[in-house]
Structure 1
């Protein structure tokens, strides 16, 4: 009898202990153990948002001659000769490359003309009689050829389609080329004006020579800035 009583009490004790264990509060899993949220939906939405953004087809800044022809409301746009579309801009960039290559070739031709005119001009200052007449004729012919090649080269530069992006910040060889272009363009105008005044005002010869040499120097450096 005592044996059965002992077994019965032991069973009650074990059941009571198990009941107490079942009522204990278990620790909540820490934040580190929580599985990460799947980011696939977020990434998908971000990709869709990025795909809706389009790159501008034209740079924000353009020179006035480019804006006249190739701007959003330029002549070629309004006449529907150059629609502002991605396909159209791709064709324009090919045209731009061709025009810039022609611009560079014209620059070398003009530079050679400057050298020839400088040699003739140096001899012209010391020539007399028939030699002076002949040298002056060739000097004027060379000047006419230079004016044509210089004007053509300048027109190619001013009317070329704009690039995709604007000019880089800071000092670059392209900016040096443009700054020198202002200088040698001014020199070209001054040289031609003074050349027409020398016959009546011979005292302008030194000024004419200085303007010619300044123009040649600025032009040569501007060509070298893009070549080297």
Structure 2
């Protein structure tokens, strides 16, 4: 178990570094594209995309909270700054995703041991399982919020058909639903132990969808 944790930590560090390197490459081209967008349009190009996630619109839309309060006036200069904020938030989103994934792995190991534990071992593993579960809920929520509240992307042509971003979003819907189901069943197991197989199935589904959502963004 000790060596597994060390290996998992090394893998997490390597994947985090890879994420940051990949994002730096994309960042330079994104900044150039944004500059060209505003320069070529001479200020006439719309500054925001027509379609945004509702949370993005609530904060960054034309009538969003940050616009109405004057904290982030909508203009070309601020949009360039917002792109950098977006990049930072999405890198943090990926890093938190890896941390959450590591938590899922640890929780899976604890869960498998818990199913066969008895007596004092059961109590110890159950308490640890609940603690790790609470931590995962926080890291998972932070991961989601970093993506949902990031400034909107550049204005550009949307790719038609299925692509990695769309698959990532579809998988996100699946693992969010799985996360909610897993938590609900976890609270009901104490009253109805027969729910354990369904809880485990929901947890595995969440883990698989979450892992796939991360992997698909790398290809």
**2:74 corresponding residue in structure 1:** 84
Q: Check 1:218–1:88 CA distance in 2 against 1; reply closer, same or farther (3 A cut).
A: same
Which one has a larger percent helix, Structure 1 or Structure 2? 2
**1:94 corresponding residue in structure 2:** 84
Q: Does 1:124 align with 2:114?
A: yes
Q: Which has the larger radius of gyration?
A: 1
Question: Structure 1: where are the runs of 5+ without partners?
Answer: 1-49
**1:103 corresponding residue in structure 2:** 93
Question: Structure 2: where are the runs of 5+ without partners?
Answer: 1-39
TM normalised by structure 2 equals 0.79
Number of residue-to-residue matches in the alignment: 179
Q: Does 1:225 align with 2:200?
A: no
Q: Deviations over 1:20-62 (max 9, x none)?
A: xxxxxxxxxxxxxxxxxxxxxxxxxxxxxx8667221111110
Q: Deviations over 1:165-189 (max 9, x none)?
A: 2542221101111100000000000
Which of residues 160, 170, 175 is equivalent to 1:179?
Answer: 170
CA distance in 2, matches of 1:128, 1:52: 71
TM normalised by structure 1 equals 0.76
CA distance in 1, matches of 2:81, 2:43: 22
CA distance in 2, matches of 1:139, 1:53: 55
- CA RMSD between the two structures: 1.3
Asked whether the equivalents of residues 43 and 76 of structure 2 are also in contact (C-alpha less than 8 Å), the reply is no
